[in-house]
Amino acid sequence: MLLKYLRFSVHHYGICRANYSSATRPSAFDGGKQFPLEGIRILDLTRIVAGPYCTMVLGDLGAEVYKIERPFEGDESRKWGPPFMRNSKDSVYFMAANRNKKSVCVNLKTGREVIYELAKKCDVLVENYVPGKLDGLGLGYNALKTIAPSLVYCSITGFGSEGPYKTKPGYDVIAASMGGLLHITGNENGPPAKVGIAITDIATGLYAHGAILAALLQRYRTGRGQKIDVNLFSTQVACLINVASNYLNAGKEAKRWGTAHESIVPYEAFKTSTGYITLGCGSDAQFVSLCRLLGMDELLQDERFANNQTRVKHRNELIAILSDILQRKSSSEWMEIFANASFPVGPINSMKEVFEDRHVQAIGMVKTLPHPMAGEVKLVGPPVVYGEAKNEITSIPPQLGQHTDEVLRNLLGYGDAEMERLRDAKIIQ
């Protein structure tokens, strides 16, 4: 549908885009389904997590992603181990955010002209350097827009291109700290806690991917590219949602609640005889259902628990009662009892339990693909399913410099002499 609209726009508005290619994937059609971003080319100058996650999502949707890496070094996350892939120098961490890409090794300090030529052929450039770094190399937006005026240029930074923190390096945990996430994460009477994954990086990558799609749509109306600024700090503040609203509109300072909910009771994790389960009652009817399944109808006659407002007021008393009951059986026993419950409930799973879960296996979230060094690699596939489009893994994360020759020869038309010159000058690997 997106591609159909984009093609319509080109025809209707007379916009001519030399960059478009209809042959970037070996099998564009599968039962009538097509990749939504078929023919879109991404010049990916990102490393670590937020940027690579963004470009990976675009790659899942069919964009051709050229991952520009430092010769002989590559993306820093290749070295973030152990663990590493078997018979490989690449970390398993790198595998998580770099599928559906082609690795092209170019030295940004000496290979500016190569990047210029690639930018002319691409639709989008994504980078995550500290503001000013690429400007100093002649690769900032002001330089690129004169060379490729239709280029969508997305900068992913720690704190944005304006403000007193703009030159500070940005990392997930720092943005989460300064943006309030650590202040509200952890046990009620304990120290701040970091979320188990780089969730601010992931949210930033998703914001960036959506912004890029919006800019591409606008370009098909105007014919012009533009610069997009996305940063970890602003993303984290935006993700505070109701906690931010509570403070801004009611002057209510936030606190840590562990797994509990400030405004809904019960809504938290409970210990069982074998582990933990999490359940919540978002309505009075759901609380009635919980009490009956627990065989505790007498709680329904207790005025302290008559509705959510009184349950919040008497939180400690109710949680103590429920905790005592739920510790008497195993997690699996409770999940059988709650199998048809009207309220949300689920076990707190280990990684082993997550990937052995019958639902995860039934929907095929894990994909196993051949790997030239390790034999095979397992990847968690895209979580979004399109009714009339493809969104899938077509290639494993690349080896360092695997596609340098292919891309520079086929896309830019470089011959043997030019490739030899660039290698002798250590501009490419």
Joined tokens for residue 138: 């002649």
Angstrom distance (rounded) from CA 260 to CA 263? 9
Do the Cβ atoms of 55 and 44 come closer than 8 Å? yes
Instruction: Note if 44 is an active site residue.
Output: no
Please give the DSSP secondary-structure letter assigned to residue 388. S
Nearest alpha carbon to residue 233 among 183, 184, 170, 185: 170
Distance CA 351, CA 155 (A): 34
**How many CA atoms lie less than 13 Å away from 143 in the CB half-sphere?**
16
Alpha-carbon span 99 to 90, nearest angstrom = 13
Q: In sequence order, which residues have a C-beta less than 8 Å from that of residue 73 and are 6 or more positions away?
A: none
Q: ∠ CA 105-110-114 to the nearest 5 degrees?
A: 60
SS3 percent helix, strand, coil of the chain, rounded to 5, is 40, 15, 45
Q: Look at residue 389 and give its three-state secondary structure.
A: strand
Q: What are phi and psi of 123, to 5 degrees?
A: -95, -30
Collapsing DSSP to helix, strand or coil, 119 comes out as: helix
Cα four-point dihedral sign 53, 126, 36, 372: negative
**Degrees to nearest 5, angle at CA 411 with 19 and 53:** 75
In angstroms, the Cα distances linking 219 to 149, 213, 228, 429 are: 10, 10, 13, 34
Interacting residues of 345 by C-beta distance below 8 A, sequence separation 6+: 277, 278, 279, 280, 334, 335, 338
What DSSP string runs through 26-83?
Answer: S--EETTEE-TTTT-EEEEE--TTHHHHHHHHHHHTT-EEEEEE-TTT--GGGG--SS
Tokens of 285: 């009817």
Choosing from 60, 90, 201, 229, the catalytic residue is 201
Please give the positions annotated as active site: 201
